[in-house]
Amino acid sequence: MNLQKLLNPNGICVIGASEKDGFGADTCRNIIKYMDEDQYFFVNPRRETVLGVKCYPSVAALPRQVDLVIVCTPRNTIETMLREAHTAGARAAIVYASGYSEVGTAEGRAAQESLVALARELDMPIMGPNCGGFINYVNSTHAFAFITPDRDRKGSVGLASQSGQICITMMENPSTKFSYAISSGNSAVIQMEDYIDYMVDDENTKVVAVYLEGSKNPKKLIAALRKAALKRKPVVVLKTGRSAKGMRLAASHTGSLAGADKVYDAIFKKFGVIRVNDIEELIAASMLFATLKKLPDQPTVASMCLSGGETGTCADVGELMGIEYPDFSEETLAKLRELLPFYATPANPLDMTATLSYDEDLFAEGVLTVAADPNIGLVCIGLNFLQEIADPTYHKMAGGIMKASQAPDAKPIVVVSFAENTRNEEYFNALIENGVYILPATVYAFQILRYLADFIKYDPADHDLDMAVPESIISTGKGAYSEFESRKLLAEYGFPAPSGGIATTEDEAVTLAESVGYPVVMKIDSVDILHKSDIGGVKINVKDEASVRAAYNTILGNAKEKAPQARIGGVYVTAMAPAGTEMIIGVSSDKQFGPCVLVGMGGVFVEVFGDVALCPAPVSKKEALSMIGTLKSVKLLSGYRGNAPLDIDALAEAIVSVSKFAVAHKESLAELDINPVFLYEKGLTPADALIIMR
């Protein structure tokens, strides 16, 4: 459905306009206050006027056709109102009413299904139900049910929120400036993915901000994020569901299904999405991207403060958040020595002392000197612009910052507060107009700068921007494959091929052992015994014929005793792999987003340390190398303390092979586990494998 008549309507109409406290009355108040008289109409057959504005008995009685109707009537009247409005020429609607799928009853779900069916029948985009509406600040359309403080909010942040209260919270924050503010509610017809896609394409929206509880249409979400990645338009997401309780709340709040949170993390990384932790970060990160006239050309920062204490704080918190503070060039150091007093020691972060603060031009020169350094991408200035400014030097420093920001080829500048005091509104707005954003207090500030650095470093060319989203979930009826079967299947996709085979007699076991060469490993072959060592179904380092015969009988005996119902295929005989560094490669298949490939330290370490990296399939070679590079244990693979480096390239190739298998079986694959994989200086050997189909 086309969202143009919903979000950019030519004329709107409130059905059920009222003066009684509630969504209807508050919507009417917003419209009267902010919109031109020729752009709106009120409908209520029982009233002649509402809040002094003429009321019409129906949409059909309006003096002209409108694109959008806002329905403020009870749930049981909604569909009748929508049909009448559509007959009168309206082509989009907002439904405030509650009592749909969000209540979790059969009646509520049926009502929502009926509403969706009607929308499709009429080809009518509907926002909601159970929503707060939206504001288009570009053309001043206020189809919004909440009253907020009166101020200029026009800007370039496009906000889509599945929570009306979070939408209000952001609008009440004095720093946020929007192109759109959308409270989507249940998103039954027009979904969150549609709003994101619309704003990615919207030329008035510089950054897309999202409060997301879950995705109802994974393919649409991926398509929108892919488009944003290729356009290099920032998408900032506050996604709930990190905790078990958060996931339950998300599911009950608007009926959204929260996918596995780590899968969302991996998806966001693949598409360069900035994931934030709370509303403060959502506001600050969005406004930073919206305010900067251009992004830094490199992810490096120079910090400038007036005191040693502030400088030390910036150094410590910056390092904690992973900020890169490169050393200044010799040329920059020489210029700073000329500008600063003799007792100052130029370095990055820089304690410039208070000397420059007494002269606007000198302060600007100091900022520009630091910004001109070829190693610096962004300048971060530590200042507290209080609402009531007592020290006159702050006026001079503000003037110096604005002069520096207006210089030809000026690099991006931000200001960091050291305590969350009220901000001077005049300077806050003046600095924003000059492309300078005042970040919140230090921990928040440097976290936001880290998000900015990550976005700068992201290159869509380094990622496979397809995703193996399943068309449907297929049950194969197979369930688990034995290790031998699993390894044979993986070999078809380039994974290291299995050796040996299945023995059903002692003699066959001996023949296989002699063909692969001693020592060998012998394991029970059964689709019903997934943890073979737990039942005594594994014998390692078997060195001769007598040992093979003994191991064969012991393994079968243990299986019959401890898993009497298990289906036994025989005993798998294979060459014993030399000891190496234990890794794991695996796949977890999300029912919404499909297979996600995992790599990490293997063996028992995967459970002890949880040091793993995820990436949605398909996984490119560059992505595989990046996954390995993000592991905390990567130092162990790269030649730690004089040890020879291991074959990271072979590990990356193995990840790609597993990804190919996962993509080919995206509808049916449930889990895949290759653990351990022994990694060597040259090559690798999988020591076990398990594939489970749905």
Cβ-in-10-Å burial (0-12, 13-18, 19+) of 90 comes to buried
pLDDT digits (tens, 9 = 90+) for 144-169: 999 998 889 999 999 999 999 999 99
pLDDT at residue 536 tops 50 = yes
pLDDT at residue 251 tops 70 = no
Q: What is the pLDDT of residue 46?
A: 94
What span, in angstroms and rounded, lies between the C-alpha atoms of 147 and 145?
7
Q: How many other CB atoms are found less than 10 A from the CB of residue 134?
A: 26
pLDDT digits (tens, 9 = 90+) for 59-103: 999 999 999 999 999 999 999 999 999 999 999 999 999 999 999
Residue 455's contacts (CB-CB under 8 Å, 6 or more residues apart) are 234, 272, 274, 289, 295
E strand or H helix that includes residue 651: helix 648-664
pLDDT digits (tens, 9 = 90+) for 614-625: 999 999 999 999
- Is the distance from CB of 138 to CB of 179 less than 8 angstroms? yes
Q: Does residue 618 have a cis bond before it (omega within 30 degrees)?
A: yes
Cα angle: 93, vertex 96, 97; to 5 degrees: 120
What span, in angstroms and rounded, lies between the C-alpha atoms of 82 and 71?
8
pLDDT at residue 370 tops 50 = yes
Range in 235-239, 378-382, 598-602 with the lowest mean pLDDT: 598-602
Q: What is the pLDDT of residue 242?
A: 65
Q: What is the pLDDT of residue 606?
A: 75
Query: Please, which pLDDT band fits residue 243 given cuts at 50, 70 and 90?
Result: low
**Residue 209 backbone dihedrals phi, psi, to 5 degrees:** -110, 135
What span, in angstroms and rounded, lies between the C-alpha atoms of 607 and 615?
19
- Is the distance from CB of 513 to CB of 524 less than 8 angstroms? no
What span, in angstroms and rounded, lies between the C-alpha atoms of 92 and 110?
22
pLDDT at residue 473 tops 90 = no
pLDDT digits (tens, 9 = 90+) for 197-223: 999 999 999 999 999 998 999 999 999
- How far, in Å, are 129, 274, 376, 500, 545 from residue 518 at the CA level? 69, 53, 60, 11, 9
pLDDT at residue 42 tops 50 = yes
Give me the residue label for tokens 């019409």.
56
pLDDT digits (tens, 9 = 90+) for 481-518: 999 999 999 999 999 887 899 999 999 999 999 999 99
E strand or H helix that includes residue 525: strand 520-525
Q: What is the pLDDT of residue 382?
A: 94
* β strands within 64-196, DSSP E: 68-71, 92-95, 126-127, 133-136, 141-144, 154-161, 178-183
106: which 2 tokens?
A: 């059969």
Half-sphere exposure in the Cβ direction for 423 (13 Å, CA): 23
Reference 179, options 151, 152, 159; nearest CA is: 159
Average pLDDT over residues 344-362: 93
Cα angle: 487, vertex 492, 496; to 5 degrees: 55
Average pLDDT over residues 452-472: 95
Residue 206's contacts (CB-CB under 8 Å, 6 or more residues apart) are 156, 157, 179, 233, 234, 289, 290
Strands 581-590 and 594-601: antiparallel
pLDDT at residue 55 tops 80 = yes
pTM for the whole thing?
Answer: 0.92
- Is the distance from CB of 595 to CB of 662 less than 8 angstroms? yes
Q: What is the pLDDT of residue 252?
A: 29
Range in 119-123, 356-360, 384-388 with the lowest mean pLDDT: 384-388
Cβ-in-10-Å burial (0-12, 13-18, 19+) of 123 comes to exposed
Distance of CA 34 to the CA centre of its chain: 34
pLDDT at residue 455 tops 50 = yes
Query: Please, which pLDDT band fits residue 35 given cuts at 50, 70 and 90?
Result: very high
What average pLDDT does the structure give for the chain?
93
Strands 53-56 and 49-50: antiparallel
- H-assigned helices in 570-647: 605-609, 621-630, 634-637
Distance of CA 324 to the CA centre of its chain: 23
Q: What is the pLDDT of residue 498?
A: 76
What span, in angstroms and rounded, lies between the C-alpha atoms of 221 and 592?
11
Reference 615, options 641, 597, 595; nearest CA is: 597
What span, in angstroms and rounded, lies between the C-alpha atoms of 344 and 652?
49
What span, in angstroms and rounded, lies between the C-alpha atoms of 364 and 368?
6
577: which 2 tokens?
A: 């792999």
Query: Please, which pLDDT band fits residue 254 given cuts at 50, 70 and 90?
Result: very low
Residue 543's contacts (CB-CB under 8 Å, 6 or more residues apart) are 518, 519
What span, in angstroms and rounded, lies between the C-alpha atoms of 93 and 69?
5
Give me the residue label for tokens 């009429």.
122
Query: Please, which pLDDT band fits residue 189 given cuts at 50, 70 and 90?
Result: very high
Q: What is the pLDDT of residue 477?
A: 74
What span, in angstroms and rounded, lies between the C-alpha atoms of 74 and 95?
10
Q: What is the pLDDT of residue 258?
A: 31
Per this entry, what is the length of the chain?
694
Q: What is the pLDDT of residue 419?
A: 85
Strands 274-276 and 235-239: parallel
Residue 355's contacts (CB-CB under 8 Å, 6 or more residues apart) are 340, 341, 344, 362
**Residue 253 backbone dihedrals phi, psi, to 5 degrees:** -70, -50
pLDDT digits (tens, 9 = 90+) for 543-594: 999 999 999 999 999 999 999 999 999 999 999 999 999 999 999 888 899 9
